[in-house]
Amino acid sequence: MQRSINKANTPSIETSRIAQPIGSTLDRFIKSNQDQFAYASGELSQLLRDIALASKVVNREVNKAGLIDIMGAVGSQNMAGDDQQKLDVLANIRFTRALAKGGEVCALVSEEADTFADLNNEGKYVIAIDPLDGSSNIDVNVSIGTIFSIYRRKSPAGTPIQQEDILQRGADQVAAGYVLYGSSTMMVYTTGHGVNGFTYEPTLGEYFLSHPDMRMPADGKVYSINEGSANSFAQPVKEYVQYCKDQKYTARYIGSLVADFHRNMLKGGIYIYPATAKDPNGKLRLIYECNALAFVAEQAGGKATNGSMRILDIVPESLHQRTAFYVGSKNMVDKSGSFA
Ligand code: AFP
């Protein structure tokens, strides 16, 4: 006798409760969205995968930092004059190696090096990276991050790298993002078509799409600024901080840009590193810190300025240029600008 198959009673693999679906891997997501890129040749996809791979290695080092002797300062200073922590150096090596092996990048600008590194001269992309931001937090187990910014080179492949390849406006970025090494590790990036966040699953060694189409709330109640420097803020900044207090906003300042940014991205808020008497151009670096986060913020509906001008419109004049940075929920950044 032939048995009939009752489809209605057949449990669907897709919806089975026995094993919850775990969503798209970063790899699969990059591949399925490749057609959105202006130059859909697969090289930018590979570059993003190289970044993800290096971040997994850095994540491993960050996680075991407390266990072995790789914590603490290495004894030298980077271009910005900060003490270089061992993990900074290590992260720089990991990202540089992964990007050099991938072959898509012709030049790499890093916080950890005075000038750009020539990678593959046939590569079509320029990358600017802060391999491990918030390094003064490493020794105390506080969240740190990697920030990256990707540009299409302007000079023809195979020719010497030009200044115009390196010093591009943030508005010319083709992709940007960050990795947050926090209570879980996340990679968040944009290719100019919205922002997506992926959470790392360490036992599987994969990033999974956990935060699709991230949107930054237009308003928030959190302000993040180092008020210890308040005496050297300009009057408009002092007034804006007072305004935040009058509004009974909550102050939250981790001192780790990626972590502060990410919290505000999810919950709404503003992060400010203003010009101060000590740092008249602010402290943060335009090319490998602010541009990337400004691009992510705008793609998520947020805003980023230097207090008056859109960050992405600033034409950089030097590799390690600093800028004041106001980033976060659009209405809050607009309000802060009204005090200028
Ligand atoms: P470090 O990498 O030296 O810890 O600097 C971190 C940072 O660039 C950024 O992540 C913080 O938001 C900001 O500096 C903190 O600077 P202040 O200590 O001056 O507030």
Ligand 1: residue whose CA is nearest its atom 19 = 226
Does 135 count as an annotated binding residue? Answer: yes
> Which of 133, 237, 264 is the best mutation target for the ligand 1 pocket, counting ligand atoms within 8 Å of the beta carbon and taking the most?
133
Residue 206 a catalytic site member: no
Active-site residue identified among 130, 165, 260, 298: 130
Strand, coil or helix: 167: coil
Ligand 1 cavity residues, CB under 6 Å: 82, 133-137, 226, 255-257, 260, 283-284
How far is Cα 261 from Cα 270, in angstroms, rounded to an integer? 8
Looking at residue 141, what is its pLDDT? 86
Looking at residue 311, what is its pLDDT? 98
Residue (of 128, 208, 140) closest to 168 by Cα position? 128
Looking at residue 82, what is its pLDDT? 65
DSSP string covering 46-71 = HHHHHHHHHHHHHHHHHHTTTTTTT-
Looking at residue 278, what is its pLDDT? 86
How far is Cα 96 from Cα 99, in angstroms, rounded to an integer? 5
Contact present, 249 and 242 (Cβ < 8 Å) = no
- Beta strands 195-201; 105-110: pairing state: unpaired
How far is Cα 312 from Cα 306, in angstroms, rounded to an integer? 10
Active-site residue identified among 111, 165, 260, 298: 111
Give pTM, 2 decimals: 0.91
User: SS3 for 261-311, per residue?
Assistant: HHHHHHHCCEEEECCECCCCCCCCEHHHHHHHHHHHHHHCCCEEECCCCEH
Ligand 1: residue whose CA is nearest its atom 18 = 255
Instruction: List per-residue pLDDT tens for the chain, 340 residues long.
Output: 455 555 656 666 666 666 666 679 998 998 888 777 766 568 888 999 999 999 999 999 888 876 666 566 666 776 666 666 688 889 999 999 999 999 999 999 999 899 999 999 999 999 999 999 998 888 788 999 999 999 999 999 999 999 999 999 999 999 999 999 999 999 999 999 999 999 999 999 999 999 999 999 999 999 999 999 999 999 999 999 999 999 999 999 999 999 999 999 999 999 999 999 889 999 999 999 999 999 999 999 999 999 999 999 999 999 999 999 999 999 999 999 999 7
Looking at residue 39, what is its pLDDT? 66
Looking at residue 83, what is its pLDDT? 62
Count CB neighbours of 308 within 10 A.
Answer: 10
- Tokens of residue 1, six digits: 């006798």
> Which of 147, 273, 325 is the best mutation target for the ligand 1 pocket, counting ligand atoms within 8 Å of the beta carbon and taking the most?
273
Contact present, 287 and 241 (Cβ < 8 Å) = no
**Ligand 1 centroid distance, CA of 256 (Å):** 6
> Which of 226, 279, 285 is the best mutation target for the ligand 1 pocket, counting ligand atoms within 8 Å of the beta carbon and taking the most?
226
Residue 284 a catalytic site member: no
Looking at residue 3, what is its pLDDT? 55
